[in-house]
Structure 1
Amino acid sequence: MHVLFVSPTGLFRDGVARLLTDLATRVEVRCADYAAIALRRGSLPDLLVLDGDNVREALNAVNVVRRTQPGLPVAVLLTAIDSRTVDGFLAAGVGGCVGKAESADVLLDALREVLAGHTNPLPALSASTNAVSPPAEARRLRDSTSEANPGALTKRQIEVLALAARGESNKLIARRLDITEGTVKVHLHTVYKALKVSSRSQASVTAARLQEVSDVQIHQALEGQISVQRLLVHMTPIRFKAGETLFHKNASSDALYYVVRGTVSLQEIGVEVGPGTILGEIGLFSPDHRRTCTARCQSDCELLSASAADAMRLYYQDPEFATYLIRLITRRLGANKLRPKD
């Protein structure tokens, strides 16, 4: 099987390309940038996967494919799931739209459904060119949403929906809200009925259009809570041994880090941080994009790394992530200002 993945160069493209090799027993994945994409009849793959965040370029590519090979299965990966964008891709003939916050298993299952020509309920929104026509499917989804009654949801149910829409598991939702997993399942069942949906993914699509959910997610970000699950697609795991330096003061700020395991010491300010901490955010926004201190691993560390370009792209695309970073930077600058000088 030949898969063509079209996306800007970077960690995201490399990570997804590796995932796509698990799609079947023998898969050859070719990557291309939109500027260099070649969609001639002789070079067309068995499956085309597009990074849809640049909507105009992605739609142009879909239109070219539809003229060259109308039956080619096409799937689109999106950071932000909204009805206008998804409807546009469906109308253009895309077989499925998958949210980047979904897990690797969900992505692969969704792509297999697109390859098989089936309607796929797993990703955020999808349609099959052999089943209901894309415009009709989009209208059906809009109609069902208009019949939904989000006003019937309680504050707690909105909180559960907000976390579920960000890819959190029932177990983590229960821990965050200090309730049982059984209670989370009951709340989600009620949410599905109120929103007239039948799955977690469909509920997440509707949640993206609800102001109440957006308000809760922004509040969670202001409280210092961020869903790492949806960041994973932008990040690459790396390991450091105890005593190794993650980055030096005044070095170019080329990446953002998330600590999964271990302890990292910020040398100049005498602060140690552990699992669940984001590092390197201040350098991304400094005028000369330089590190403000040295980060050294006090123990063996497992981290997730995102390039500066991917981190900034996510900052502009995701208001919740942007809010979280602004809060984090403000608190750290405030703490540094109050720290006694030697």
Structure 2
Amino acid sequence: MLEQSMAPPHSKILIADDHPLFRDALQQVVDQAFPDAAVLEASTLDEAMIIAAHDDLDLLLLDINMPGMNGFNGLIALRNAVPATPIVVVSADEERETIQQALTLGAAGFIPKSMAKASMVQGLHEVISGKVYMPVDLSAPLTRGQMMIDDDFQQGYAALTGQQRRVLEMLVLGKSNKVIAFELDIAESTVKAHVSAILRKLRVNSRTQAVLNASKMLGTVRAMPSL
């Protein structure tokens, strides 16, 4: 029998999923994992953002395919909105790359929708206790297809300065220009200049494109020396 998690008293948990039946299923999982928690619901990213802005959430369960998410952009937006709240991605997409990307972008866990209820409960217990939960071993070697990296993007990354690489990795983690400036002890205008240089060197047209492409290759590029 699974032990009940040490969830905060009167904790608030948001279930953000556009399918009512699956929200009900997740409600049952949350009720079993955290019997005293108050459960809030959202069916779009906009609704989730509004709730996150007005409620002190202890946990957020997020479907990355609900309306407004635009891929992982919704996860990044919520990560910026509630940086102290652990976000667990709940998805029907069980591809290893998807799981790795979600965790790279700041998710505290990834739960496949096909997972058994008891395993979901265990996963939520681990996240609420401060751990990162994933259903597969991401330390296992990548397949040949997963290791393929766009040559132009890799060459562009190699041309980044050490500071630009640090800024890019912080962008991948979903941090805003203001937060990056504070953590690196530089002016926000300097961060913006770094971002512009990063986009130019990586040959991408937007910050989001840079983040998504970089997150796919972080497992290999972190080993490359800074210039």
How far is the alpha carbon of 1:54 from its aligned partner?
Answer: 4.4
Cα separation, 1, equivalents of 2:40 and 2:25: 13
How many Å separate the matches in 2 of 1:68 and 1:53? 19
Partner of 1:124: 135
Deviations 1:305-341 (A, max 9, x none): xxxxxxxxxxxxxxxxxxxxxxxxxxxxxxxxxxxxx
- Please say if 1:87 is aligned against 2:100: yes
Is 1:3 the counterpart of 2:16? The answer is no
Structure 1's 40 and 100: CA in aligned 2 closer, same or farther, altered over 3 A? closer
When residues 11 and 70 of structure 1 are mapped into structure 2, their CA distance, relative to the original with a 3 A threshold, is: same
Find the aligned partners of 2:110 and 2:67 in 1 and give their Cα distance. Answer: 12
CA contact (8 A) 2:13 2:58 kept: yes
Give the Cα–Cα distance (whole angstroms) in 1 for the partners of residues 102 and 72 of structure 2.
7
Maintained 8 Å contact 2:13/2:57: yes
* Counterpart selection for 1:70 from 83, 86, 91: 83
Unmatched 5+ stretches in structure 1: 127-137, 148-342
Whether the 8 Å CA contact 1:46–1:73 is kept in 2: the answer is yes
Give the C-alpha shift of residue 84 in structure 1.
2.5
1:73 Cα offset (Å): 0.7
Give, as a single letter, the amino acid of the residue that structure 2 aligns with 1:47.
L
SS at match of 1:76: strand
Q: Does 1:36 align with 2:34?
A: no
Gaps of 5+ in 2: 1-10, 145-227
Aligned pairs (5 A) from 1:89-108: 89-108=102-121
Partner Cα distance (2:77, 2:125) in 1 = 23
Higher relative contact order (CA 8 A, sep 6+): 2
Does 1:24 pair with 2:34?
yes
Structure with a larger share of its residues in strand: 1
Compute the displacement of 1:49 (Å): 0.1
* Amino acid in the other structure paired with 2:17: S
Distance 1:65 1:54 in 2: 13
Larger radius of gyration: 1
| CA distance in structure 1 between the partners assigned to 2:99 and 2:127 by the alignment | 15
Q: In structure 1, what is the Cα distance between the partners aligned to 2:97 and 2:68?
A: 13
Instruction: Assess, with a 3 A threshold, how the Cα gap between structure 1 residues 16 and 119 changes in structure 2: closer, same or farther.
Output: closer
Q: Decide whether the 8 Å contact of 1:5 with 1:29 is kept in 2.
A: yes
Give the whole-Å Cα distance in 2 for the aligned partners of 1:33 and 1:9: 7
Given that 1:65 and 1:72 are in contact with CA atoms closer than 8 Å, whether structure 2 keeps it comes out as: no
- Contact kept in structure 2, 1:51 and 1:76, CA below 8 Å: yes
